[in-house]
Structure 1
Amino acid sequence: MSDPDTDRTEVRVKLPRYQKEEWADDADDLDMSQAEFVRTMVQAGRSDLGLEADTAPQATASAEPTSEGVDPRGGGLEERILRVLRQEEAMSWDDLLEEVVGDLEDRLDETMGELQQSGRVRFSGRDGGYVLTDE
């Protein structure tokens, strides 16, 4: 069954290259994915504009940890676990682990794609894996 609070959709934004690079650097500094960084900044901007979260309850819901609360780096594993258990009521260790690791695997895949696209990392069969490029 589909859950409107965790279903994902894509938003595309066109912006100057320098701005994307700044955002990518800012996200790296905060140890966030670029997607998480943009979501966090949009939500912060909504708050500054006086738009309350309850005016669009699904806007703050995310299938990955968010930067809400006291942890600005988005490491909200505890909140993620509590959110999943509220939805599922009971989960086996293996199912819970898959829920959390699956999220991390998605974030790792997204981040590695971004690093390769920006030319900061490449895959080298000769070296046996991913390597940094000369930045």
Structure 2
Amino acid sequence: MAADGEERTSVRTYVPEYQKENWQSHADELDMSQSEFVRTMVQAGRSGFELPESDTGESSASAEETEPRSPGANPRGNGLKDRVVEALADGDHCDWDDLVAALTDDIEQRLDETLQELQSEGRVRYSGRHGGYVLDE
């Protein structure tokens, strides 16, 4: 039987279908259930956030002090460690650059897509004059 405060209950939310598919895909990559993935991402997003100050001006206890933490960011193991082992599984030697490339294979594509999206939203712009991207506020 679960200890006090350890009982499980459901939480329901509604997201666009594409977002659910993205979450499921990412959860599959991490060998996690979708519920486990969402719970982990919510807890990771809340890390370091403190409750607002009370009426007396004193800072309230952090969320971590007022409620138990969920398991770590990857309860089924170290995702990076698993990916390194997978990259080395063929038995060949892999130099540093090849290993970094294997672990970050889609980061350039994802970054390009994200920057395009942010630019189309008017949140980021590229300045040729300054040679880089900047928040467009």
Higher helix proportion (structure 1 or 2): 1
Higher relative contact order (CA 8 A, sep 6+): 1
TM score, norm. by length of structure 2: 0.42
